[in-house]
Structure 1
Amino acid sequence: MASREELIFKAKIAEQCERYEDCIELLKQLILTHGSLLDENERNLLSVAFKNVVGPKRQSWREIPAILQTFTKQEEQTIAKEYSAKIEKEIEQVCKDALEIFDKYLIPNSGPDVGAKIFYFKMKGDYLRYQAEVSSGENALQELADKSEKAYQEALKIASTELAPTSVIRLGLVLNYSVFLYEIRHNAEQACDLAKRAIDDAEANIDVPDDNAGDCSMVLDLLRDNLNLWELEVGGDKVFG
């Protein structure tokens, strides 16, 4: 049996070679054979690997509607829709694989590590959101959306009491949760409210550690960009810029 150090080393090599599926399998093996307590670097490695597997598939799926508009024949449209369904199944499978790891191993065994709990609940919310994006049935969509929101809310409940408003983890969570509210719940007003409160709270706190200042600023900029777009949609004036 490979040691923990060997599996991590192989996973890092796989990630650097952009062999993200291999990276995930190696990290699965690590969790199954050496336990579920991952440090911050190992959690980030898992996140990057899954993101780079599901990300291109989500992007491909989003291209299908524009492609469909270029086809005039029914047969062509049917083939394109079948291909879209194939991509949807691939996205669903990646999400199921990720969610199984979170629910079965990582969340139950995260221990007292607050950062780990928030990280895993946020990722659970994300991958349920990705499933909801490609869900075609109304009941299935509602169930996935409810589960996704519950995971985001669980993460936010912990982050709001345990992490500073300038924490990159907390801000990243708010960013993704607000996107969920806008894109899945179609609630621009609630998305704006969540984003604006996070921005105001962060700006009211100036004790950002120097090593996190750049990341904090980057996430805040993303929140501001989204807020400006969403505020215009709900009839408000542009907030920033």
Structure 2
Amino acid sequence: MSQEEESIFMARVAEQSERFEDMVDFLTPVLASKGTALTTDERNLLSVAFKSLISSKRTAWRTISAIEQNPKYQKFSGALGAYKHRIESALYGDCERIIDIVRTKVLSKAGAEDEPRSFFVKMVGDYYRYIAETAQGEKLEHVKAEALKSYQEALKIPLPPCNPIKLGLALNFSVFYYEVMKDQKQACVLAEESLQLALDKIDEISEEDFRDAKSIIELLKENLALWKDEDGGNNGDDL
């Protein structure tokens, strides 16, 4: 049994135990060793580890923000603001750690094939976007620019239109335009173009790829329906 095999097994145990920081710790040396040579299952496991690490903090921030809006809790505004800032700091720390891991363990190395490179460059964009959801001022402008740069770089990597990573990139990039850049038009253009290209080729792909592509295509359709709604103000789904 290799060390990598043991680390991946322990990461799955940590996932079942909902110990997501441990899960990241178990997977980081595997990523350092294998880089873009991770299998699809291993990449998916890494995605779960990273997303789960920050998920509760994103939810907590939104919950506190909603409580702040209630007039009857105005007398607690100072304490609420301080608590929210604490959550923000933890969230930013986790996202910046993830970005650093991906850049130093994977993207700094030459020779990556198109599909895994697209996966990891998109991931950097995603975690800058998560910071941008709550950041303000100069920090917001910085992370917006970094997310945009990463998404644009990933979009230039040539992948088939029905490739799940390509579709996931289109989904998340369009959500970035809508929610962070406040550019409804560009969000719709990107989602519609990617959707049409995928639908034109959908009959040419394998059954397994079709299953993966179909779920993302449905999310793109749902987001477009929300964004074109006259009332607006709806956040889209991402991966």
* Aligned ranges 1:56-205 → 2 under 5 Å: 56-72=56-72, 74-109=74-109, 111-137=111-137, 139-158=138-157, 161=158, 163-205=159-201
Q: What are the within-5 Å matches in structure 2 for residues 23-34 of structure 1?
A: 23-32=23-32, 34=33
Give the Cα–Cα distance (whole angstroms) in 2 for the partners of residues 108 and 219 of structure 1: 29
Question: Structure 1 residues 62, 74: CA separation in 2 closer, same or farther (over 3 Å shift)?
Answer: closer
Q: Which runs of 5+ in 1 are unaligned?
A: 236-241
Counterparts of 1:114 and 1:23, CA distance in 2:
26
One-letter code aligned to 1:154: E
2:212 alignment partner in structure 1: 215
Q: Distance in 1 between matches of 2:104 and 2:87?
A: 26
Q: SS of 2:204's equivalent?
A: coil
Q: Please, which moves more after superposition, 40-49 or 187-196?
A: 40-49
Q: Quote the Cα distance in structure 2 between the aligned partners of 1:73 and 1:178.
A: 35
**After superposition, what is the alpha-carbon deviation per residue over 1:46-100, rounded to whole angstroms, capped at 9, x for unaligned?**
1100111111211121122221133535441111111111111111011011011
Match of 1:227 among 216, 224, 228: 224
Question: How far apart in 2 are the matches of 1:15 and 1:151?
Answer: 28
CA distance in 1, matches of 2:224, 2:179: 13
State the number of aligned residues.
Answer: 229
- How many Å separate the matches in 2 of 1:233 and 1:102? 39
Give the Å deviation of 1:40: 2.2
Residues 100-141 of structure 1, C-alpha deviations (whole Å, 9 max, x = no match): 11111111226232211001011100000111112122x221
Regions of 4+ moved over 4 Å: none
SS at match of 1:14: helix
TM (norm. structure 2) is 0.89
Corresponding letter in the other structure for 1:150: K
Contact 1:71-1:77 within 8 A present in 2 as well: no
Distance 2:168 2:231 in 1: 23
Preserved CA contact (<8 Å) 1:189 1:234: no
Note the alpha carbon deviations across 1:179-205, whole angstroms, 9 max, x for none. Answer: 000011000000000000011111111
Aligned partner letter, 2:187: A
What's the CA shift for 1:38?
Answer: 2.5
RMSD, matched Cα: 1.9
Give, in whole Å, the separation in 1 of the partners of 2:146 and 2:231: 26
- The structure-2 alpha-carbon separation of the partners of 1:108 and 1:74, relative to structure 1 and needing over 3 Å to count, comes to same
Query: Once the two structures are superposed, what CA deviation does each residue of 1:7-26 show, in whole Å capped at 9, x if it has no partner?
Result: 12211221233221111001
Question: Is the Cα–Cα contact under 8 Å of residues 188 and 230 in structure 1 kept in the other structure?
Answer: yes
Match for 1:166: what amino acid? C
